[in-house]
């Protein structure tokens, strides 16, 4: 098995969100994939097998998840680099088939039909983050159900991860983005911190699925850069020493269906191999 280690949504070498993409025609059983992901300890590890539509499975250190943004963006870039796909392709995940585009500098993915899943209790989440909420906390699903919480300050957050796990189980979300709008205009700019203890990620450096969810939440709340959509730039990760940038584009078609595109730069870090005998299967 080949190990392809990259930084996704990077702003410079060794920034953004690290990702391991493991590629091979044959993979260990799910428990073996989970063991490797736990060993690597990154927020997500991807296992990809070749085909006309490559099959992709995504694991956090504690669980498999159906879909996520930073893994698919990074995987698209890696598979193009390996010659598995061209510039435009589709990746198959347990959460559905996802169109992707990659070039030499980065990649993006597109999710059609993201949906609002209700509203979380903004006050409860704010208390768990030692924050002051400045608005409601809608739950949006662009692959994973995520709560979006506007706050007045991000630097002082102190997350109670046990409390967040309780609230997530109660209200039906897996992560929360605390965010603050920095500018509105032709492009909206936001600063974000994301916490996802329910899936084994206390704080994520830079988060694609949550960036998509935030774009949809802002658009639905009336933040627009054009009549049919929103262009958003997210700054995330600098509080963890991993500064990153996510570019988000939300569009609504004539039938009212939303599509959200999430992308950014991808930079290689290292390549290696994982012996098939590492994990019994």
pLDDT, position 257: 86
| Residue showing tokens 């993915």 | 109
Helix (H) or strand (E) holding 213: helix 208-220
Q: Report the distance separating Cα 51 and Cα 64, nearest Å.
A: 21
Residue 185 CB-density burial (10 A; 0-12 exposed, 13-18 middle, 19+ buried): exposed
Residue 13's SS3 state is: coil
Residue 88 CB-density burial (10 A; 0-12 exposed, 13-18 middle, 19+ buried): exposed
Residue 31's SS3 state is: helix
**Radius of gyration of the chain from its Cα atoms, rounded to whole angstroms:** 18
Whether residue 141 contacts residue 112, with contact meaning beta carbons closer than 8 Å, is answered with no
Averages of pLDDT over runs of 10 residues in the chain (281 residues) are 98 97 96 97 97 98 96 98 98 97 98 96 98 98 96 97 97 97 93 96 97 97 93 97 98 91 98 77 48
Instruction: Kindly report the pTM of this predicted structure.
Output: 0.95
Q: Cα 181 to the chain's mean position, in Å?
A: 19
Strand partners, 18: 7
pLDDT, position 276: 65
Q: For residue 157, give the nearest of 135, 125, 181, 183 by alpha carbon.
A: 125
């Amino acid at each position: 098995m080949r190990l392809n280690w990259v930084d996704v949504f990077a702003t410079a070498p060794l920034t953004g969100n690290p990702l391991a993409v493991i590629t091979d025609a044959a993979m260990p059983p799910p428990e073996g994939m989970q063991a490797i992901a736990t060993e690597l300890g990154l927020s997500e590890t991807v296992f990809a097998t070749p085909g006309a539509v490559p099959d992709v499975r995504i694991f956090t250190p504690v669980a498999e998840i159906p879909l996520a943004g930073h893994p698919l963006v990074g995987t698209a870039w890696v598979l193009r680099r390996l010659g598995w796909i061209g510039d435009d392709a589709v990746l198959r995940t347990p959460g559905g088939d996802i169109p992707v585009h990659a070039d030499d500098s980065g990649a993006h993915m597109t999710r059609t039909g993201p949906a609002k899943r209700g509203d979380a209790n903004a006050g409860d989440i704010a208390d768990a983050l030692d924050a002051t909420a400045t608005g409601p906390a809608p739950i949006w699903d662009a692959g994973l159900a995520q709560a979006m919480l506007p706050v007045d300050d991000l630097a002082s957050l102190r997350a109670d991860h046990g409390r967040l796990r309780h609230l997530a189980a109660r209200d039906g979300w897996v992560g929360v983005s605390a965010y603050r709008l920095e500018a509105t205009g032709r492009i909206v700019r936001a600063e974000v911190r994301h916490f996802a203890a329910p899936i084994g990620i206390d704080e994520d450096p830079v988060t694609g699925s949550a960036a998509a969810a935030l774009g949809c939440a802002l658009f639905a709340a009336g933040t627009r850069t054009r009549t049919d959509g929103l262009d958003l730039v997210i700054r995330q990760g600098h509080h963890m020493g991993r500064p990153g940038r996510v570019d988000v584009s939300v569009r609504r078609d004539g039938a009212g269906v939303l599509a959200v595109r999430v992308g950014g730069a991808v930079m290689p870090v290292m390549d290696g191999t994982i012996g098939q005998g590492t994990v019994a299967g």
